Structure 1
C-alpha cells in the first residue's frame, strides 16, 4: 500500500538495515554500537531486541542465505560475522 511506518525513533543514525532470508526479522545497526533484531509478524515489526553490543561505528550490513549477519565497522576497518541470534561466528576480517 506504499505506507511508511517508523519502527524505532530512538536509534541514532541507523545505517545497516536488512531482512532475514525468510523476511521475518528486521535487523538494524546504528551509531549507538548496537545490532537490534525486530521480529516481523503479519508484516508489522515488533519490539526490538539488542543482539550485539559494542560495535565500532557500524557502517553497513548484509545477510547471507543462512541468516548470518555481516557488519562492517568503519573506524576499525573490519567486517564481523554474527549468527541470527548475535553470536560472533568468525574472527574479524580487515579491509
Structure 2
C-alpha cells in the first residue's frame, strides 16, 4: 500500500458505523441519515478492493415513525449475524439480511460490541447509559480482510 486514500462510496449520506463479516469478505456500513436510515453491504476482494454495493437493511420507516436512534454502531457474532443499532434499539440480521431478532430500548443506542470473559455479553451505549446483555452467542473475532502479503502494515 502506498498510503493513498481510496473513495469507496461518495453517495452514502452520513456514513457512520462499519463492521466486517467473520471472513472479512463483506463490509457493512451504516448511514445515520434520518431520511435514508440504511445499512449498505459491500463485497471485499482478496486484494482489498471494495465493490458490489447493495442495500442490506432499511430502517427509514422506523426513523420517520419517531423511534429513537439511527443506524450507527454495529458488531458481528460468531455466526456472521449483524447486531446493528437502529431506530428503537438493536436489530439482529442474518448474513442475507433477514431480521432474526431485536432488542428494544427507549433511548437511542449508538454503539454495540461483544465482550466479557466468554465473549457472550453485548455491551451498548445509549445516550447517558452503558448497557450489558448476556447473549447465547459469542462475538466474532475482529478480522481485517485478507490482503496481499505486507499490505496490512501501517
Q: CA deviation at 1:18?
A: 0.7
Partner in structure 2 of residue 80 of structure 1: 91
Q: Deviations over 1:41-93 (max 9, x none)?
A: 121011211021125321211111211001112x52x1110011110011x21
Partner in structure 2 of residue 50 of structure 1: 55
**2: CA distance, partners of 1:89 / 1:60:** 18
The structure having more radius of gyration, on CA atoms, is 2
**2: CA distance, partners of 1:58 / 1:45:** 21
**2: CA distance, partners of 1:21 / 1:48:** 18
TM-score by length of 1: 0.85
Structure 1 unaligned spans of 5+: none
> Helix, strand or coil: the match of 1:39?
strand
TM-score by length of 2: 0.55
User: Which of 25, 34, 37 does residue 33 from structure 1 map onto?
Assistant: 37
**2: CA distance, partners of 1:23 / 1:3:** 21
Q: When you count strand as a share of all residues, which structure comes out higher?
A: 1
**2: CA distance, partners of 1:53 / 1:94:** 17
User: Which of 78, 81, 105 does residue 68 from structure 1 map onto?
Assistant: 81
